[in-house]
Amino acid sequence: MAMLHVTSPLIGTVFRVTVGPGDQVRSGQELVIIESMKMEHPVEAESDGTVEEILVAEGDTVAAGQVLVRVAPGAVAAASAGADDSPVVSGERADLARYRERRFLTTDEARPEAVARRAARGHRTARANIADLVDDGSFVEFGSFAIAAQRRRRELYDLIRNTPADGLVGGLATVNAGLFPGDASRVAVASYDYTVLAGTQGQKNHTKKDRIFDVARQLRLPFILFAEGGGGRPGDTDASGVAGLDCLAFAYFAQLSGLVPLVGITNGFCFAGNAALLGCCDVIIATEDSYTGMAGPAMIEGGGLGVVKPTDIGPIDVQTANGVVDIRVKDEEAAVAVAKQYLSYFQGPVAAWERHDDALMRDVVPEQRTRVYDVRRAMELLADKGTLLELRPTFGVGILTALARIEGRPVGVIANNPAHLGGAIDSDAADKASRFVQLCDAFDLPVVSLCDTPGFMVGPDAEHTAQVRHFGRMFVTAASISVPWVTVVLRKGYGLGAQAMAGGSFHGNAMTVSWPTGEFGGMGLEGAVRLGYRKELEAETDPAKRAELEAFLIARAYENGSALNMASHVEIDDVIDPADTRGHILAVIGSPRPWRDRAGKKRPMVDTW
């Protein structure tokens, strides 16, 4: 049989010769090791046989294709009983063992004391919150081995043990994948870890945030941020700069506004830089035990503004009343559940849904036109069961804003609240509605407007709230959107306020319809009669006859401004049975638009206020 010539596969240097003349070798056995570009390349036997000649020595430089060893092919002696050609593994590889040790030190299990302190306050760890939020096994972490930039003042092992992930756990995952498979469920998530240096913003976790924010931008992923923490960290020593004001985290996160949904969650103390990121979010979900402010006690005292307790700064009652917090919840578990629900409206339609009895809509508005009612009832009956999620319920209460589904299709709902100022729109309500409409437009949710307003609030006191500008926001915002807008007039549709609830005009939206209880006018009809017929009324000297004339004129005005008369002049599109409301809305809003497929942003941002 012809001699086999074993050749070098590349140029390099002979690092080791592992056989000698006369040795019997098996196919695949290592004969020579060539070193090239600092890498070792084993050269193996191509068949069983006996080594006839070694043509190189250790240290020789060889060329590609150069013959290294000659082997005479043939049978070789059987291996001794019990022998095994496979490599002997005496234990786990050293590199993998070291990795596993370091990986364990990033987990909650490695820090039982810190976890116990957290539990004693009734709070969960960052990793526990993320695990509850994301689908099982879907979390892919970024920067898990980071440690605080304090190597100049602390031992490395101390930093590894006590500052895992530099106080920020973040990465990519899926949420609600059971309902929204594929890309629709993909998200980015980050959580400050209050067990690590009070959840402060350190040098390395800033770097991690920048990276995750940028990846979210590249991949168009919604971002969920658990923002609890104390703000900027003064104790890092490894940075070469001065103030760190060139960090990009705030700019990067703000650039996501209007591109992807931003969900903020806070619990415990959230101050300074952490609060700044929270304030960029589309929605803020806060627990009963949350305190949120743009400075913590140290910064307040350092500014010469007195000594305060952290629990004095932005408690939940303050931040819900003033509109900072969108959704108030009991605890972190509830916060995660609401975050998943909120996110679902931006993930798409669902196939399974359950509707209320449409006939119940007919009894929402009382027959007595001056009797107040709860407009939330109309919102709940309009939405699929269990899908109405109200935002900022205790702020700007003249208009209610909520996300909902109608036959599985996500929509945004705004509604005048007749229980507050008779449904008149004030400055806070105008701001609340305007921002909500921006949010809906940015992510292609149709707007459903339930109108029952006597108009914008008026009077000298009201003008102290700068309402001329605030009311203008409703008009310019509505004029800037491209999603369908459907207005349903439940009762009152008066003046500029009603036009604002219709997107600027009853003919400036996709549809304006009214329930039979609808009544319309350029202003309140009683006032219109008293102003428009002042001369006639003043000319009647008999008080009884004047009252009778006034009542007649008002009744005529109401008949003229009735829904059916408005429809006969085509100032609205139709009068409908309240039970048919869902069908009319669905006929207009059509199929959902996938905002993820759009190139770039529709809006430059979603206003934070």
DSSP string, 207-219: HHHHHHHHHHHHH
Q: For the segment 480-519, what is each residue's pLDDT rounded down to a tens digit?
A: 999 999 999 999 999 999 999 999 999 999 999 999 999 9
528 — pLDDT class (breaks 50, 70, 90): low
**For tokens 């005005």, what's the residue?**
557
- The answer to whether the pTM exceeds 0.85 is yes
- For residue 364, being part of any structural domain is answered with yes
Classified as helix, coil or strand, 105 is: helix
| Residue 556 to residue 559: CA distance in whole angstroms | 5
C-alpha count within 13 angstroms, C-beta hemisphere, residue 118: 24
**For tokens 């930039």, what's the residue?**
149
Q: Which residues pair with 232 in a beta bridge?
A: 201
Q: What is the pLDDT of residue 1?
A: 63
Average pLDDT in the 188-203 region? Answer: 94
83: pLDDT strictly greater than 70: no
**CATH number of the structural domain spanning residue 227:** 3.90.226.10
168 and 274 housed in the same domain: yes
Final residue belonging to a domain, choices 293, 310, 344: 344
- DSSP assignments along 293-331, one per residue: ESS-HHHHHHTTS----GGGSSBHHHHHHTTS-SEEESS
74: pLDDT strictly greater than 50: yes
Average pLDDT in the 535-547 region? Answer: 79
Q: Which residues pair with 277 in a beta bridge?
A: none
273 — pLDDT class (breaks 50, 70, 90): very high
544 and 570 housed in the same domain: no
87 — pLDDT class (breaks 50, 70, 90): low
- For residue 82, being part of any structural domain is answered with no
550 and 513 housed in the same domain: no
86: pLDDT strictly greater than 70: no
370 and 302 housed in the same domain: no
Number of helical H runs and strand E runs in the chain:
20, 23
For residue 288, give the DSSP letter: E
Q: What is the pLDDT of residue 185?
A: 96
Average pLDDT in the 204-221 region? Answer: 94
Q: What is the pLDDT of residue 82?
A: 47
| Residue 34 to residue 220: CA distance in whole angstroms | 47
**C-beta of residue 573 within 8 angstroms of C-beta of residue 518:** no
**C-beta of residue 466 within 8 angstroms of C-beta of residue 472:** no
489 and 548 housed in the same domain: no
153 and 252 housed in the same domain: yes
- How many degrees, rounded to 5, is the angle at CA 412 between CA 453 and CA 189? 140
81: pLDDT strictly greater than 50: no
- Exposure string for 565-593, b = 16+ CB within 10 A, e = fewer: ebbeeeebbebbebeebbebbeebbeeeb
502 and 532 housed in the same domain: no
With pLDDT > 90 as the criterion, what percentage of the chain qualifies?
Answer: 76
| Residue 33 to residue 24: CA distance in whole angstroms | 18
**In the numeric block, which tokens belong to residue 413?**
């709902």
Q: What is the pLDDT of residue 458?
A: 81
C-alpha count within 13 angstroms, C-beta hemisphere, residue 518: 30
Q: What is the pLDDT of residue 535?
A: 79
- Phi, psi angles (nearest 5°) of residue 335: -60, -45
- For residue 604, being part of any structural domain is answered with no
- For residue 91, being part of any structural domain is answered with no
Domain hosting residue 538, numbered range: 524-561
- For residue 205, being part of any structural domain is answered with yes
Amino acid at 74: G
Amino acid at 93: R
- For residue 287, being part of any structural domain is answered with yes
312: pLDDT strictly greater than 60: yes
Average pLDDT in the 111-130 region? Answer: 96
C-alpha count within 13 angstroms, C-beta hemisphere, residue 356: 24
478 and 528 housed in the same domain: no
180 and 36 housed in the same domain: no
Lowest mean pLDDT across 144-153, 170-179, 438-447: 144-153
- How many degrees, rounded to 5, is the angle at CA 531 between CA 530 and CA 533? 70
Number of domains in the chain: 4
116 and 226 housed in the same domain: yes
- Phi, psi angles (nearest 5°) of residue 541: -85, -20
Q: What element of type H or E holds 411?
A: strand 409-416
| Residue 213 to residue 205: CA distance in whole angstroms | 12
Final residue belonging to a domain, choices 292, 316, 344: 344
390 and 400 housed in the same domain: yes
Q: What is the mean pLDDT of the chain?
A: 91
Q: For the segment 424-468, what is each residue's pLDDT rounded down to a tens digit?
A: 999 999 999 999 999 999 999 999 999 999 999 888 888 889 899
Final residue belonging to a domain, choices 288, 313, 344: 344
Q: What is the pLDDT of residue 243?
A: 72
386: pLDDT strictly greater than 50: yes
536 — pLDDT class (breaks 50, 70, 90): confident
481 and 547 housed in the same domain: no
The CA-atom distances, in angstroms, between 609 and each of 337, 470, 479, 554 are 24, 11, 18, 40
- For residue 534, being part of any structural domain is answered with yes
For residue 392, give the DSSP letter: S
- For residue 325, being part of any structural domain is answered with yes
| Residue 253 to residue 606: CA distance in whole angstroms | 12
**C-beta of residue 571 within 8 angstroms of C-beta of residue 489:** no
| Residue 563 to residue 580: CA distance in whole angstroms | 16
Among 349, 414, 353, 352, residue whose Cα is nearest residue 595 = 349
Q: For the segment 551-599, what is each residue's pLDDT rounded down to a tens digit?
A: 777 777 777 778 999 999 999 999 999 999 999 999 999 888 888 888 8
**C-beta of residue 54 within 8 angstroms of C-beta of residue 25:** no
Among 449, 475, 434, residue whose Cα is nearest residue 581 = 449
Q: What is the pLDDT of residue 260?
A: 97
| Residue 437 to residue 415: CA distance in whole angstroms | 12
Q: What is the pLDDT of residue 242?
A: 72
**C-beta of residue 71 within 8 angstroms of C-beta of residue 50:** yes
The CA-atom distances, in angstroms, between 519 and each of 379, 498, 572 are 20, 11, 11
H helices of 220-356, in order, are 249-255, 273-279, 297-302, 316-321, 332-344
